Every structure is written in C-alpha cells, then in structure tokens.
C-alpha cells in the first residue's frame, strides 16, 4: 500500500500499520520555490504557480502531502477585506489584511451573507483551480489538503481587535452569532475545496485555540462555532490548534473533528488519554527541530511523538520557509 493510500485509510478512520509523516498546514520552502523558479509573493494570485509551489516540497523531499491555499486570508478577502500581498517587500512574507473590514460584529449578521455568493468571490475559485492542478500533478502519490481558518481566526482578520475583545464582554451573544455565520461560510469554502478534489480539509484555528485565548473563552466562543463548522464540513476534517491545549482536549474532541493536530507545547501522552475516538496528529517543533535542528534531533522528536501514541507525525504548525529539504527528507524517512 502506498503512503497516499495509507494516509487516506487513516483519515477515513481505519487502522493502519504505521504512523505516517505528512502535513495539512502550509509547508512550502525557499528551496522548493527556487527549484520551480517562483517568487512567493506571486504564487497567491496565480493557480498554476500556487500548485507548483505547493507541490515542490513533495517533489524535493518525498513528504507525501501538499496544501492550498498558501496563506490564511483567502476567506477574509472573499468577504470584502482588502489584502496587502506585500509584493514589493521581497523575501517570504505572507499576505495580510491591510485594514479591519468592520469595527463591530454587528455587521457580520445573517443579512450580510444573504444572496452574496461569497463562495465565488475573491480567490476562492482560484484556490479550487490550484487544488485541481495539484491533484493532477502529484495526486496519485501524495495527499492533497485544503486549508481554511477557523471561525474565530477569521473573525480576528475582519474585526478591529480592541473592539472585538470589548464586545466579547459586552455583547457575547452578538459575537457568538457572528462566529456561527462565519462557521457556515467556512463550511461552504471547505466543501468547495473538497469538490475540487482535496482529500481532506484542515481547519487552522490558530487565533481561536484555547492555547491562545484561554480555555474559558475557547469554550464560550470558539468551541460552539468550531462544532457547527465540523457538523457542516465534509469529512475528513482536521482541527489544528496552537499552544498548550491540554486543559481543553476534551472540548477539542467534542468539536466532531476527525483528527486534532497539536503543537510542541502539548503533552501528547496526556492528550492521547483523552482522544480515545479522535485521531491525534503532531507535534514536531517546526522552528527548533525542523528548521534549526538536524537529523538526530528530528529522529528524536519523531520517536517521542510515536511513543506518545500519535496517529500521524505532523509539524506543530506551518513550516518555516527556510527549512531545508534535507531536514524534510529526514522527517519523512523517520516515520
């Protein structure tokens, strides 16, 4: 059975004999871009270039996965936010929202979404095309992931942070309603990526992680919206969260995600005890180990994750672009 077939079997909930190394997060590298003659700032608005960039890691390292899009603000752009693609800056800078779209969550109501067809706006159709091209190019050997932000992370891109945090205290119901609207929209985006032939969807809720906003606010705001998103999103669904999330693993399991991906601050062995019916992915440090370490450190980290009982070896977050191909080869081979 090929690595791709093994991973798809795992994502469908069936037992496999190993713990594969792959990723559903952004994992493009400077070396990969150079091998394809690409400039990072140019790949976000061109489907063939996006696909080539995403496929380059697999081509150079044999890590059996590729993901699109290659930034986190596609959905914010579709909803009306202005994006700074940082084209004149050079280097490896990710697109970002140029300015908050709204000052209050009161504008993100049901009326804002009615009849707007946001699913066909901005770069969402372009990402779908890139996924199709990825599947055609490497989809017989590697798994193809579609990535979306979580509802709370998307809300952080859309609303001025100071106003949002104040409303979470004064108008918690209104904030929750906005998160529900965003969850349903994101489910549509994820469904579009699956229809474009992505094998699975990663919900990268960095900003909504209990390791970022704290367990109490996570339970009050992010968790209900994530639960709705997972209920409406086609499987397989991976929920990726950052920071120390051990106190909230029971809630993360309750979202309905098929797998939970955690970072290097998580105690994997303790998480394994909680996730009895949910896959656990993680948690090799993308900075201290995959970027700054070498084969020995990578092998030790992978072995530690395996012994803690993960179902698949994932980087704890997006790769540092300067991560060497040699390190990724080590990461792929040690699983």
Structural domains of the chain, with CATH: 22-333 (3.20.20.210)
Once rounded to an integer, what is the mean pLDDT over residues 294-306? Answer: 96
Task: Assign 3-state DSSP to the chain and report helix, strand, coil percentages, each to 5.
Answer: 50, 10, 40
Contact 149, 186 (CB under 8 A): yes
82-105 pLDDT tens trace: 999 988 766 789 999 999 999 999
pLDDT score of 334: 65
Contact 325, 11 (CB under 8 A): no
Q: What is the pTM of this model?
A: 0.96
C-alpha pair distances (Å), 176 with each of 148, 182, 225: 19, 10, 8
pLDDT score of 89: 64
Contact 199, 143 (CB under 8 A): yes
- The confidence band for 335, taking pLDDT boundaries of 50, 70 and 90, is low
Q: Which candidate, 184, 268, 261, 274, places its Cα nearest to that of 226?
A: 184
C-alpha pair distances (Å), 63 with each of 31, 221, 330: 14, 35, 10
Strands (E), 75-129: 83-84, 96-97
Please give the torsion angle defined by the CA atoms of residues 59, 63, 66 and 67, in that order, rounded to the nearest 10 degrees.
Answer: -140
């Amino acid at each position: 059975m090929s690595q791709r077939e093994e991973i798809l079997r795992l994502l469908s909930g069936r037992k496999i004999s190993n713990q594969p190394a792959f990723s559903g997060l952004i994992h493009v590298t400077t070396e990969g871009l150079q091998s394809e003659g690409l400039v990072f700032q140019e790949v976000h608005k061109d489907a063939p270039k996006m696909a080539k960039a995403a496929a380059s890691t697999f081509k150079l390292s044999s890590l059996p996965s590729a993901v699109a899009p290659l930034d986190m603000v596609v959905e914010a752009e579709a909803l009306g936010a202005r994006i700074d693609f940082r084209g004149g800056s050079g280097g490896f800078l990710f697109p970002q929202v140029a300015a908050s779209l709204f000052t209050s969550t009161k504008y993100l109501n049901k009326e804002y979404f009615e009849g707007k067809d946001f699913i066909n706006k901005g770069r969402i159709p372009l990402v779908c095309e890139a996924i199709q091209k990825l599947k055609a190019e490497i989809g017989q050997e590697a798994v193809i992931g579609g990535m979306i932000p979580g509802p709370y992370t998307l809300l952080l891109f859309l609303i001025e942070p100071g106003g949002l945090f104040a409303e979470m205290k004064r108008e918690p119901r209104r904030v929750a309603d906005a998160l529900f609207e965003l969850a349903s929209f994101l489910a549509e985006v994820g469904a579009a990526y699956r229809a474009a032939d992505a094998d699975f969807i990663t919900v990268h809720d960095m900003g909504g992680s209990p390791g970022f906003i704290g367990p109490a606010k996570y339970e009050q705001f992010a968790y209900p919206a994530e639960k709705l998103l997972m209920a409406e999103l086609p499987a397989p669904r991976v929920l990726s969260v950052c920071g120390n999330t051990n106190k909230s693993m029971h809630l993360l399991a309750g979202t309905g995600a098929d797998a939970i991906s955690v970072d290097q601050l998580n105690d994997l062995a303790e998480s394994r005890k909680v996730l009895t019916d949910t896959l656990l992915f993680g948690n090799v440090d993308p900075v201290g180990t995959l970027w700054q370490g070498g084969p020995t450190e990578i092998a030790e980290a992978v072995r530690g994750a395996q012994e803690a009982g993960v179902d698949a070896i994932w980087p704890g977050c997006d790769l540092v672009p300067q991560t060497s191909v040699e390190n990724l080869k080590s990461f792929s081979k040690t699983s």
